[in-house]
Amino acid sequence: MKIKKLNIIIALGLVATIGILIVQLIWTYKSFTLEEKKFSQKIHIALLEVARKLYENNGHEFANKDLIQRVSNDYYIVNVNDNIEPKVLEHYLKTEFSKFNIVTDYEYAIYNCESDDMMYGKYISIDDDLKPKKTIEFPKSNELVYYFAIRFPQETSYLISSLRFWFILSFALIVILLVYVYSIYTIIQHKKYSELQRDFINNMTHEFKTPLSSILLASNYLSNQDAIKNDTKLETYTSIITTQGKKLNNHIEKILNIARNDEFALAINPIKIKLLPFLSDIVEPLQLKHENLKIEIDVNANETIFADEFHFTNVVHNLIDNSIKYSEEKPEIKITSTRKDKELKLEFADNGIGIPPKNISFIFDKFHRVSNKKSTEVNGFGLGLFYVKKIVQQHHWKISARNNPNKGLTISITFPNS
């Protein structure tokens, strides 16, 4: 994916997420405002009922004109204009608040005509075990005579608790936004490091190829000289230079191909392959090359798969080559196939040193090599199994590895719908 497309996707995703978050916060604010209005209306109606019952209790006619004043969000004054008994008022307040489902703490005070002061009533808590908080002084009204005041100290927290779902949703969206931003940052950093790594590998390998080509040319020239051919030691040394130079050149080509394939998808051209003759053609020259190598092929003669011939050949070569390299004795490899419904499984089992359980999940990672005695003896960059996994993924197959019960390692390739 080009960097411009990635930036556009990131920008659109970020704008969309922030937009959703803003809309959610606006909805939450409006919901809080609406809930506050509903709470105020319920308080107003409940206090009117309390005032009406106080009038009836005193045997006077009820007049509901301008009885209730809302001084602030949580503070109300009720102008009863009649005698008020504290116990009677408290009973009516509890009754009406319960009727209107007003479940929050409150405190009230009654104006005392004789002392010309507010006589504090009581702090009513919905939790009986909760100790009353320190009371706040109720201000006196100079225009009223018979009235009581009521305050709701927990009104804001009460309203927030009734909108718990909206606040949880808003918090979840904020967390999602933070995770999204962090993920995008990680992706960009990873992409930057991958490009830096690929550029470094390309530059490094190209710089290696120039002197290596000169070394190979010189060694080929030397090997054709009569003086070298007539001297066994010099011929051996020249042969070592040529062999190791070619091996190093193959490693460099492999690194270049891996770096190139990280940027562009591998071109896969699947064809129908008969598995048994295909594997036999690969195994035969390997057995001629390695005298002690024993390979047993237990594959049904009728099994076929669709695969890119070139890349699948490299996959098989890599798996067998690894089994040979990491064997401490005479290499023995068994290639078997099993079928279950439409799924075919091809397994490569060897008698090598195996893999420590803690490392087995990393053997297909790029540049990963298990640290042991054998790995120090074997040349390589840890790209063989990474290449194998990449080819398997390009074909939409599955690959896994497990240690054998007795000795060695088994690599399994699963071909779905084969």
Last residue of a domain, one of 223, 238, 263: 263
Of 70-74, 113-117, 311-315, minimum mean pLDDT range: 113-117
306-309's contacts with Cβ under 8 Å and 24+ in sequence apart are 306/270, 306/271, 306/272, 306/273, 306/418, 307/270, 307/271, 307/273, 307/395, 308/268, 308/269, 308/270, 308/271, 308/391, 308/395, 309/271, 309/273
Residue with tokens 């060694």: 219
* CATH code assigned at 192: 1.10.287
Return the amino acid letter for 155.
Answer: E
Where residue 382 falls (left for φ over 0; alpha for ψ -120 to 50; beta otherwise) is left
pLDDT of 36 higher than 70: yes
Token pair belonging to 323: 């089994």
pLDDT at 338: 92
How many Cα neighbours within 13 Å face the side chain of 149?
Answer: 22
* CATH code assigned at 336: 3.30.565.10
Q: pLDDT confidence of 274, banded at 50, 70, 90?
A: very high
Of 78-87, 125-134, 248-257, 360-369, minimum mean pLDDT range: 125-134
Residues 115, 57, single domain; the answer is: yes
Order across the sheet with 343-350: list the strands: 294-298, 332-340, 343-350, 409-415, 398-403
pLDDT at 133: 56
Where residue 66 falls (left for φ over 0; alpha for ψ -120 to 50; beta otherwise) is left
Q: Cα 330–334–337 angle (5° rounding)?
A: 175
Residues 241, 283, single domain; the answer is: no
With respect to residue 56, please indicate whether it lies within any of the assigned structural domains. yes
pLDDT at 169: 76
- DSSP E strands in 231-299: the ranges are 270-274, 294-298
Most confident of the following: 50-59, 214-223, 338-347, 353-362:
338-347
Last residue of a domain, one of 215, 247, 263: 263
pLDDT of 296 higher than 80: yes
- pLDDT tens, 155-203? 888 777 777 777 787 788 788 878 877 887 787 777 777 777 667 766 7
Instruction: Give the three-state DSSP class for 5.
Output: helix
pLDDT at 311: 85
What single-letter DSSP state applies at residue 306? Answer: E
**With 0-12 CB in 10 A as exposed, 13-18 as middle and 19+ as buried, what is 49?**
middle
Mean pLDDT of 333-361: 87
Mean pLDDT of 362-382: 61
Does 153 or 250 have the greater pLDDT score?
153
Whether pTM > 0.85 for this model: the answer is no
Please name every residue paired with 271 in a beta bridge, in sequence order, or none if there are none.
Answer: 307
Of the candidates 396, 387, 410, 247, the one whose C-alpha atom is nearest the C-alpha of residue 310 is 387
* Domain membership of residue 347 as a residue range: 270-415
Does 111 or 204 have the greater pLDDT score?
111
With respect to residue 337, please indicate whether it lies within any of the assigned structural domains. yes
Last residue of a domain, one of 232, 263, 294: 263
pLDDT at 347: 93
Cβ-contact 353, 366 below 8 angstroms: no
- pLDDT tens, 378-407? 555 556 788 888 889 888 999 998 998 888
Counting the structural domains of the chain, the total is: 3
With respect to residue 179, please indicate whether it lies within any of the assigned structural domains. no
* Distance, CA of 62 to CA of 67 (rounded, Å): 10
pLDDT of 1 higher than 50: no
Cβ-contact 369, 307 below 8 angstroms: no
With respect to residue 247, please indicate whether it lies within any of the assigned structural domains. yes
pLDDT at 323: 86
Residues 401, 256, single domain; the answer is: no
3 state SS for 321-346: HHHHHCCCCCCEEEEEEEEECCEEEE
